[in-house]
Amino acid sequence: MNNCFSTKKTPSLVFYVLCFCLFTFSKKVFGQETEEDVSQYFDDAGIQEAKNILKVDMMSIINGDYQLLWEHRFAKKVSFELGLGNVSNKGFRGRFPEFITGIPAHDISYSRLSYAIALKFYPAGVPEYLFYSINYRKRPYLGADVYDFYLGSGYQFILKTRLTFAAGIGMGFRNIQANTDPAVVSSGFSTFFPLQLSIGYIL
Amino acid sequence: MKKITIIYLALIPLIFTTLKAQTVSQNIIIGDEIKQSFKNGFYDLEILTDDEEYFYALEIPFTAVYSMSIGGSKKYAIAKYNLENLQPVKSVPLELTFEGKDRKYEFIAVVGGEIYLFTSFQNQEQKKTYLFVENIDKNTLEASKSLRKIAELDYSEYNRYKFAQFEHSISEDESKIMIRYNLLDKGNSIINGGFKVFDSNLKELLKYEEPLPLKEDAIFTFSGYEVLNNGEVIILGKYFDDKRSLKNSTKMKKKYFLFGPRVSRRYPNYHYQAYHINSRNQLLGYSFDDFEHYITDLIIGSSPSNEIIAAGLYSDIGKMNVKGTFTCELDTEDNKMTNIQFNDLDFNYLTKGLSERESSKLNKLYQSKKEFSTNFFALEDLVFYEDGSYALLAEPFYSDYVVRGNQQTGFYTVYRYQFKNIWVLKHDKSGELEWKNKVIKRQYVEDGAIKYASYGVNSFDDNIQFMYNVTQPGIFTKYGNPKKASLHQTIINENGELSTKMILQDQRETLPFYNSDLKELKSGGVLIFSNKGRNYKFLRVKN
| Tens-digit pLDDT profile for residues B253-301 | 777 777 778 888 788 889 999 999 988 888 999 999 889 999 999 999 9
**Mean residue pLDDT across chain B:** 85
- What's the Cα-to-Cα distance from A146 to each of A63, A140, A179, B391, rounded to whole Å? 12, 6, 10, 72
pLDDT confidence bin for B361, thresholds 50/70/90:
confident
Contact B99, B120 (CB under 8 A): no
- Mutation site for A-interface testing, chosen from B67, B96, B125 by largest number of A Cβ within 10 Å: B125
Cα B312 from Cα B238, distance rounded (Å):
14
Residue B278, C-beta contacts closer than 8 angstroms, at least 6 positions apart:
B232, B284, B332
- Across the strands, what pairs with B500? B490
Q: Give the pLDDT band of residue B9 (cuts 50, 70, 90).
A: very low
How many other β-carbons are positioned within 10 Å of the β-carbon of residue B442? 17
Q: Tens of pLDDT along A98-147?
A: 777 777 777 788 889 999 999 999 887 888 888 999 999 999 988 889 99
pLDDT value at position B425?
A: 96
Across the interface, whether the CB atoms of A49 and B100 are under 8 A apart is answered: yes
More confident position, A24 or B244: B244
Q: Quick check: helix, strand or coil at residue B526? A: strand
CB A143 within 8 A of CB A157: no
What pLDDT is attached to residue B8?
47
Residues of chain B found within 8 Å of residue A48, distances taken between Cβ atoms: 101-102, 124
Per the CB < 8 A criterion, the answer to whether B88 and B81 are in contact is yes
Least confident of B72-76, B93-97, B379-383: B72-76
In the β-sheet with B44-50, what is the strand arrangement from edge to edge?
B44-50, B54-60, B77-82, B88-93
Beta bridge partners of B234: B226, B276
pLDDT of residue B203: 92
Report the residue of chain B nearest A156, measured CA to CA. Answer: B159
Beta-ladder partners of B415: B401
Q: A45 to chain B: nearest residue by CA?
A: B125
User: B102, A77: Cβ pair inside 8 Å?
Assistant: no
Nearest Cα residue in chain A from B163: A124
- Band of pLDDT at residue A48, cut at 50, 70 and 90: confident
pLDDT tens, position by position, A165-180: 999 999 999 999 988 8
The reply to whether omega before A127 is within 30° of 0 (cis) is yes
Q: What is the pLDDT of residue A6?
A: 40
The pLDDT assigned to B151 comes to: 92
CB contact under 8 A, A44 and B69: no
- pLDDT of A32 > 50? The answer is no
The mean of the pLDDT values for chain A is: 81
Tell me the C-alpha distance between A141 and B380, whole Å: 68
Q: Which of the four pLDDT bands, split at 50, 70 and 90, describes residue A3?
A: very low
| Contact between B123 and A43 using a beta-carbon 8 Å cutoff | yes
The region of weakest confidence among A63-77, A122-136, B153-167 is B153-167
Among B305, B449, B327, B311, CA closest to B385: B305
Is residue B314 predicted with pLDDT exceeding 90? yes
B405-423 residue pLDDT tens: 887 878 888 888 989 899 9
Is B156 within 8 Å of chain A by CB?
A: no
Q: Is ipTM strictly over 0.90?
A: no
| Cβ of residue B435 closer than 8 Å to a chain A Cβ | no
In angstroms, the CA A126 to CA A111 distance is: 34
CB contact under 8 A, B123 and A78: no
Q: How many helices (H) and strands (E) does chain B have?
A: 5, 41
Q: Are the C-beta atoms of A47 and A158 separated by less than 8 Å?
A: yes
Q: Inform me whether the C-beta atom of residue A163 falls under 8 Å from chain B C-beta atoms.
A: no
Query: Does residue A30 have a pLDDT over 50?
Result: no
Q: What is the dihedral of CA B146, B148, B152, B156, to 10 degrees?
A: 50
What number of CA atoms fall less than 13 Å from residue B277's CA on the CB side?
A: 22
Asked if the Cβ–Cβ distance from A35 to B147 is below 8 Å, we say: yes
CB contact under 8 A, B69 and A123: yes
Mutate to test the interface with B, among A36, A44, A126, A160 (most CBs of B within 10 A): A44
The whole-angstrom separation of Cα B144 and Cα B157 is 34
Cβ atoms of B242 and B264 within 8 Å: the answer is no
Cross-chain CB nearest to B126 (options A44, A124, A128): A44
The helix/strand count (H/E) of chain A reads as 3, 11
- Residue burial B488-499, b: 16+ Cβ < 10 Å; e: rest: bbbbbebeeebe
Going along B112-203, which residue ranges are E strands? 114-123, 128-136, 148-154, 161-170, 177-185, 190-198
How does DSSP classify residue A184?
S
Give me the percent of chain B exceeding a pLDDT of 90. Answer: 39
B112 vs B13: which has the higher pLDDT: B112
- Please, which residues 67-106 of chain B have a Cβ atom closer than 8 Å to chain A? 69-71, 98-102
Single-letter amino acid, residue B68: M
The pLDDT tens digits for B42-78 are 878 899 999 989 999 999 887 655 544 444 456 899 9
Across B309-335, average pLDDT: 92
C-beta separation of A39 from A32 below 8 A = no
The shortest CB-CB distance from A42 to any of B101, B152, B163 is to B101
B49 forms beta bridges with B56
> In chain A, whose CA is at the least distance from the CA of B132?
A38
DSSP annotation string for B442-460:
-EEEEGGGGGGSS-EEEEE
Q: Cβ of A33 and B147 within 8 Å?
A: yes
- Please name every residue paired with A94 in a beta bridge, in sequence order, or none if there are none: none
DSSP 8-state assignment for residue B476 = P
pLDDT at residue number B493: 94
pLDDT at res. A27? 41
Which pLDDT band, with edges at 50, 70 and 90, does B170 fall under?
A: very high
Q: Do B162 and A48 touch (CB under 8 A)?
A: no
8 Å CB contact between B312 and B379: yes
Reported as a pLDDT band with limits 50, 70 and 90, residue A29 is very low
Residues 6 or more apart in contact with residue B24 via CB below 8 angstroms? B30, B503, B504
Distance from C-alpha of B130 to C-alpha of B153, rounded to nearest angstrom = 6
Q: How high is the pLDDT of residue B83?
A: 92
- Least Cα separation, residue A74 to chain B (angstroms): 9
Q: Tell me, what's the pLDDT at A20?
A: 54
Chain A, nearest residue to B125 by Cα: A44
DSSP state of B231: S
Q: What does the pLDDT read at residue B39?
A: 67
pLDDT the model gives residue A18: 58
Q: Which positions in chain B touch A37 (Cβ < 8 Å)?
A: 149
Average pLDDT over residues B325-353: 92
Higher pLDDT, A70 or A128: A70
User: What's the gap in Å between the CA of B101 and the closest CA on chain A?
Assistant: 7
Residues A24, B118: Cα–Cα separation, whole Å: 30
